[in-house]
Amino acid sequence: MPVNLTPNAIATINDGDVNLKPLVQVLDIKQMGSAQERFRLLVSDSVLTQHAMLGTQLNDRVKSGLVKKGSIIQLIDYICSQVQKRKIIVVLNLETIIPDCEIIGNPKMVSDAPAQNALPNTNSMLLSTVGYNNLSSQSHGSNMHSIRPALSSLSHDGNMQSFRPTSSTQNQGGKMHTFQPALGAQNYGNDVQSFRPTVQPPYQPPPSYRNHGAVMKNEAPARIIPINALNPYQGRWAIKARITAKGDLRRYNNARGDGKVFSFDLLDSDGGEIRVTCFNAVVDRFYDAVEVGKVYLISKGSLKPAQKNFNHLKNDWEIFLEATSTVDLCPEEDGSIPQQQFSFKPISEIESAENNSIFDVIGVVISVNPSVPILRKNGMETQRRILNLKDGSGWTIELTLWGDFCNKEGQKLQEMVGSGFFPILAVKAGKVSDFNGKSLGTISSTQLFINPDIPEAHAVKDWFDRGGCDVASMSISRDIVQGGPKNEARKTVSQIKHEGLGRSDKPDWATVRASISFIKTDTFCYTACPLMIGDRQCNKKVTRSGNSRWQCDRCNQEFEECDYRYLLQIQIQDHTGLTWVTAFQESGEEILGYPAKELYLLKYESNDTRFADIIRSRLFYQYLFRLKIKEEMYGDEQRVKITIFKADKVSYSSESRYMLDLISKVRAH
C-alpha cells in the first residue's frame, strides 16, 4: 500500500514545531548508555533524516518490536534540542502506524542535504515542477531569454522590478507585471526578463504560551516534560513532580572551604524518579520551602551525571538547583502522581544480592530489640536498633535502624510488637550488608512505612493471618556461613574442631547455640586510649604515668581520663562439648549488659560483691553466638582463635520454628 510521509517534517521540527505530529520512518536503531538503557533512532521524512532519542518510558516499544527498522511512526509528543552544535529530536510519545515497511525515498542527513531541500514543502514542489536546474521558457514575441536566478530583473523600459512567485503576471508590450513561474515563463511582448523567486521565510511555530498575556522574548513558560525525558542539552524545561524523600542538611569542609548540602527525590506521573541537590546559598532558599509529599513545578536547573555511589534512583542524571532555579508549589493536589513508588523484592532474593546494593522490601515485623548506643568509627555516638522482618518467601532478615529511625519508627514498632500486634513494615531504599550474613540497614534516604495502605501490604497481612505466622522460616542474616552451603550454617561446638574450621587462608564463620559456663574476671577489660587518629579512636592499651595521668605509647601523649574496653575470655558449651572464645567491646556489652567502665568501677572501687553477682547471672544462659574462627600464631605455635562477633539471647519461639523447619526438611529428604 502507498505510504505518504509528512512532507518536510524534519525541517519543520528543526525550525521549532511541536504540534505537527508528523509521520516519519525509522531507518536505524542504536542502543545507547550503560547504567540506563536508551535508544537512538534515525528517522526520515523521505527527503531528510535526523537522529532522535527515545524517552526511556518508550524503551519497551523497541524491545517488543513495535518500533524497528522500517517502521512508520507518528511523533505525538516531541521536542528538538541542540547537542554539541547539532540538533536532535527527543521523542516523548509516539504511535506505530505500520510496523514494517520498505525504505521510502533516498533521504540524506540534514547536514549533508542541499540548501534547497530545507525549503518549505510548497516551494520544493514548485521548483520540482518547473525543473529549476533546467528551466525552459516559451516566448510569443521575437526575443527569447533564459531564466536566470537573479535577485531582480530589468524591465524593457529600464526600470528595476522584483518578481515574487505568489501571483501570475504576463508582460504584454513594455509593462512588467509579477507572475507565477510554476507553469513556465511566457512573454507576449518583445522582451523577457530574468527573475528569481523570493524564498519563503522559514516555518515559525505558534507560541506555546498563548493566553498568558504579554511575554518578552525567551521568557515564555517552559514546557512541562516527563522526568525520563530530561537530558543536559535541553535549553529550557520544567517538571511537575512529588517529593518522596528529603535528606538531612549536611555540612562539609574541603579545599574550597566550608559548605552545606541537602537533596530530595522526585517522582512524576509517568513513574520517573530523579534526585535534586542543592548547595550553600541555594540550600537557604529551598531547604525549608520543600516538604515531603507535596507536588512542585521545578525548572531552570542543570543536569549532571548521577553519582551512583550515593544515588540509588534509576536515572543517569541528577538535577542541581542554581540561583536562577524555581521551585513552585502546586497548591492543588495532583492525583495522577503517586505518593510513593516501590520496587519490592522477596527477602529470599537479598541472599544473592551484592553488598551495598539498594532494595525495597515489605514484611511482617516479628521482633524488635531495644535501642542501644553505638560509638561510630569517627568517635560520634549514635543509636542502633535491630528488628526482624518475615515475608511469604519463607525467610527472615535483620533490619538495622540507625540514628533517628530508632526513636521514631523503631520505638513505635517496639510498642506494637510488645502489645502482641505484628505490624506490616515497608522499607524504601534499604542498604544491603554482607556482614553477619545478609542484612538490611537504613541510610539517609531510607523511608519506613508502618501498615501502609497499598496492595502489597494487604497481601502480606492476609498471608500472615492465614497461617504465615506459624510457617517455619530461616534467617538469611545469621544462618549462612560465608562461602559455605546453607546446611553448614549452624554448627555445634564439637563440629568446629572436627571439621577443621578456621585452618584455611580466610576465616570461617559459624552460628552456635550454646551456654556460658565460665567468665574470667581477672582481666575482663583493659584501659584504652581515647584519642582519635584520623576518624578512628586509638584504643591501644594505656598505663599510669608517674603523675597519675594515663599515657599512650602509640600516641605519645598523656591525659586525665581513659576508656575502658571489654576483653572477655569466655568458656561456652553445648551438648557436644566446650571451647574458649573471646568477646570484645560490642559483643561484651551484649553479654554482660553493662559498659566496661561501670563494671570496672564496681570491681575495683565500690562493690566487688555486686560485680560478682552480675557475672554469675550470665552463667548457663543460652545465646546464639556468631563466631569468627581463624588460625593464628602464638609464639611458635599455631592456635585456632574463636571470636564472638555477635551474641543474641535465644528466642525460644524462633528456635522452635527453626527446629521444626529442620525436621520438615529432613522428612522431605
Residue 484 banded pLDDT, cuts 50, 70, 90:
very low
181 backbone dihedrals φ, ψ, rounded to 5°: -85, 0
What are 601-614's pLDDT values in tens digits? 999 888 889 999 99
Burial class (CB in 10 A: 0-12, 13-18, 19+), 653: exposed
- As a whole number of angstroms, the distance between CA 519 and CA 613 comes to 12
Q: What gap in Å lies between CA 375 and CA 135, rounded to an integer? A: 90
Residue 442, pLDDT score: 93
Q: What mean pLDDT comes out for the span 284-291?
A: 93
Residue that wins the pLDDT comparison between 234 and 179: 234
- Return the bridge partners of 240, or none: 297
- Give first-to-last CA distance, the chain, whole Å: 65
- Write a three-state SS string for 223-260: CECCHHHCCCCCCCCEEEEEEEEECCCEEEEECCEEEE
Higher per-residue pLDDT: 121 or 94: 94
Find out whether 328 and 284 touch, Cβ atoms under 8 Å.
no
Written as nine digits, the cell of 195 is 527573475
The strand pair at 23-32 and 257-267 is best described as unpaired
Q: In angstroms, what CA-CA distances link 21 with 44, 89, 134, 171? A: 14, 13, 35, 43
Q: Which residue has the higher pLDDT, 485 or 215?
A: 215
Q: What is the DSSP letter of 307?
A: -
- Judged against a pLDDT cut of 80, whether residue 127 lies above it is answered with no
Model pLDDT for residues 327-370, shown as the tens digit of each residue = 999 988 768 898 899 999 999 888 888 888 899 999 999 989 88
217 — pLDDT class (breaks 50, 70, 90): very low
Q: Decide if 596 contacts 565 (C-beta within 8 A).
A: yes
pLDDT band at 126 (very low <50, low <70, confident <90, very high): very low
Strand ranges for 557-621 from DSSP E: 557-559, 563-566, 568-574, 577-583
Q: How confident is the model at residue 409 (pLDDT cuts 50, 70, 90)?
A: very high
What is the distance between the alpha carbons of residues 23 and 6, in angstroms, rounded to a whole number? 5
Please report, rounded to a whole number, the percentage of residues in the chain having pLDDT higher than 90.
Answer: 35
Whether the predicted pLDDT of 284 surpasses 90:
yes
Domains of the chain: 9-109 (2.40.50.140), 227-329 (2.40.50.140), 347-475 (2.40.50.140), 493-524+567-657 (2.40.50.140)
The three state secondary structure string of 5-55 is CCCCHHHHHHCCCCCCCCEEEEEEEEEECCCCCEEEEEEECCCEEEEEEEC
User: What are 15-27's pLDDT values in tens digits?
Assistant: 888 888 899 999 9
Q: What is the pLDDT of residues 68-117, one digit of tens each?
A: 999 999 998 888 887 767 788 988 889 898 888 889 988 988 765 444 34
Q: What is the grid cell recorded at 457?
A: 501490604
Helix (H, G, I), strand (E, B) or coil at 325: coil
Pairwise CA distance, residues 366 & 657, whole Å: 13
Residue type, 230: L
The DSSP secondary structure of 576-594, one letter per residue, reads TEEEEEEE-HHHHHHHH-S
Instruction: Let me know the angle formed at the C-alpha of 426 by 443 and 266, rounded to the nearest 5 degrees.
Output: 60
Match 513545578 to its residue by C-alpha cell. 297
Tally of CA atoms within 13 A in the half-sphere of 308 that contains its CB = 8
Range of lowest pLDDT (227-231, 233-237, 283-287): 233-237
pLDDT in tens, 294-317: 999 999 899 988 888 778 888 889
- What pLDDT shows up at residue 614? 93
Residue 531 contacts residue 487 (beta carbons within 8 Å): no
Chain centroid to Cα 342, Å, comes to 12
Which pLDDT score, from 0 to 100, does residue 172 have?
Answer: 42
pLDDT band at residue 233 using 50, 70 and 90 as cut-offs: confident
